[in-house]
Chain A
Amino acid sequence: MKHYAQPIAKLIGQLTKLPGIGPKTAQRLAFYILDSTQEEVEELALTIKDVKDNINYCSVCNNFSAEEVCSICKDETRDTNTICIVENSKDIVAMERTGEYKGVYHVLHGSISPMEGRGPDDIRLNSLLSRIKEKNIEEVILATDPNVEGEATAMYIVRLLEPFEITISRIAHGLPVGGDLEYADEVTLSKALEGRTKV
């Protein structure tokens, strides 16, 4: 870093902290910013600040939102009796891309992980419970990640919701669509076989 002027070194240091950015990429980005016009740089800086200043959690589902209630929760055409539970806001984007899901969401912002000291109180389950108590929820779809932490979180929610009369389902994991069976790896195929459904 000693070859850089101090402000450049500082910028590179900041950029390296971002996920997926190594020292080489950080250097490239820093020089790109230096080469940009004054307006462009100011707009970038403002946009970054703006995101932090104006984005909050939706008061209903905890999704990131610029307003009190997010656009999905506000949408009256959606089925508010079905809640899909996801770990992160990013997962909503993925689900929305399908265009198939018409219900609403609940974002936990994390999963249960004793190793990282994250218990049920550290993810947004209380707001989920109050939603279920107050509103007429009929179905809950568990779409937490298919790893051991996501599984544990899903199981915990199942237990938590036992006293309520609602349908609870877990999204399936298995084969990618459109591929040939022979190209599926053994683990995916075994999983798909275990989770086979009756026709």
Chain B
Amino acid sequence: MYLTGLFLNNFRNYNTLELNLNKNLNLFIGNNAQGKTNILEAIYLLSTGNSHRTNITSEMINWNQEKAYVKGEVSRKERNFSIELLIENRGKKAKVNSNSLKKINELLGYLNTIIFSPEDLELVKGSPAGRRKFINLEISQVNSYYRHNLKEYNKVLKQRNNLLKDIREKHSSQEMLGVWDQQLIDLGSKVILKRLETVEKLGILARLMHRKITDGSETLKLKYKSSLDLSNDLSLSEIKDKFDKKIKSFRQQEIDKGYSIVGPHRDDMLFEVNDINIRKYGSQGQQRTTALALKLAELEFMKSEIGEYPILLLDDVFSELDGKRCHYLLKVIKNKVQTFITSTKVNKELSKLDLNKSFYRIKKGTLTSI
């Protein structure tokens, strides 16, 4: 899939911007704080309904304006359509082909994107929460049932945590936990099962990518680390059984703490290179190579799930990767993945590249083609 056009009005530092986009590579060059990332943010917004940078909608609206507007023209295999987003201080509204969506999160799935920003290079050594967010978004973009189950799981979790606090303060009895446990286990097991499947698929793809980037000298392994101590190839009912046992054995601890300590909200992903945990013992270079391999694996994963490549957004990461990694990245995306790159300078690898490309220079919210 690809974007053929992008229109911004009062979005961040842009008054009005209308762009016809290149099917392959679009490069935005400019100094810092000129509005490069704003373009990627707008595309990401069309894809997920949320910004990758902020949760505060007013930040996305141009100074002295009341609302911002973003529109994208999408071309997919079977159909073409437009996505519109109206951003106001009190919230966002979305339309697909001029039909209003009831909720903003219904947008997920129309336009698939993968964003790669400097923070993603931290994915490997960052917090478990970051890795959970990564895997959740990954699956949610291609599976709305997972998205639903995760949302319900989080609701149950909130209710249950409240109840655990009530029990600790002796406002409620332990027996009340049963009805929440059952739902936590049902929904949580579905979430875990889907994550296990996804991590396995992603793991295979990431290992392939990783091998190529490292010329076959390193082997990457991806593991799902669950608070339930799961082994591989478990069925849904087996996961439920384990969940049930675990939750019972942690009963007192959960009450003492006043929150739930067992379940997918405490799980993590583990990266091993040549059987060594590289979160703890890897070099920065190894961690970055892993992050890159993971992003490229995401591309292939989405292709296998939805039948076409998503759009790739590379926010300022080119400067962070060395020549060899840049080269490999460009080789992968060449002529098959529509890619948007922001950078402060034209990279040597980029200018050498013989593919259909559009370069723009950005200065204070105005674009000139170069």
Q: Which residues of A contact B (CB under 8 A)?
A: 112-115, 119-120, 147-149, 151-153, 155-156, 159, 185-187, 190
Contacts and interface: CB of A to CB of B under 8 A. Distances in A.
Interface in B254-278: none
A119 B155 CA distance: 17
B306 interface: no
Given A115-B159, A115-B162, A187 B179 contact: no
B144 A151 contact: no
A187 B149 CA distance: 9
B159 A119 contact: no
Given A119-B176, A159-B178, A152 B159 contact: yes
B158 interface: yes
B148 interface: yes
B148 A120 contact: no
B145 A186 contact: yes
Contact of A119 (B156, B172, B182, B183): B172
Contacts of A186: 143-145
A159 B176 CA distance: 10
Nearest to B167: A114
Sorted from nearest, which 7 A-B pairs have the closest CB atoms?
A114-B162, A114-B163, A155-B179, A190-B145, A152-B179, A187-B148, A186-B144
Given A155-B179, A155-B183, 19 more contacts: A112-B176, A112-B179, A114-B160, A114-B166, A114-B176, A114-B180, A115-B158, A115-B162, A148-B152, A148-B183, A151-B183, A152-B159, A156-B176, A159-B178, A185-B144, A186-B144, A186-B145, A187-B144, A187-B145
A107 B317 CA distance: 59
24 contacts: A112-B179, A113-B159, A114-B172, A114-B176, A115-B159, A120-B176, A147-B152, A147-B155, A148-B152, A148-B155, A148-B183, A151-B179, A151-B183, A152-B179, A152-B183, A153-B179, A155-B178, A155-B182, A155-B183, A156-B176, A156-B178, A185-B144, A186-B144, A186-B145
Interface in B125-153: 143-145, 148, 152
A148 B159 contact: yes
A8 to B, nearest CB: 26
B97 to A, nearest CB: 16
Interface in B167-193: 172, 176, 178-180, 182-183
Main secondary structure of the interface of A (DSSP, over half): helix
Contacts of B162: 114-115
Interface of B: 143-145, 148, 152, 155-156, 158-160, 162-163, 166, 172, 176, 178-180, 182-183
A187 B145 CA distance: 5
Contacts of B172: 114, 119
Nearest to B166: A114
B148 A149 contact: no
A112 B156 CA distance: 12
B145 A114 contact: no
A120 B178 CA distance: 13
B186 to A, nearest CB: 9
Contacts of A148: 152, 155-156, 159, 183
B174 to A, nearest CB: 13
B160, B163, B166, B179: which has the most chain A beta carbons within 10 Å? B179
B144 A152 contact: no
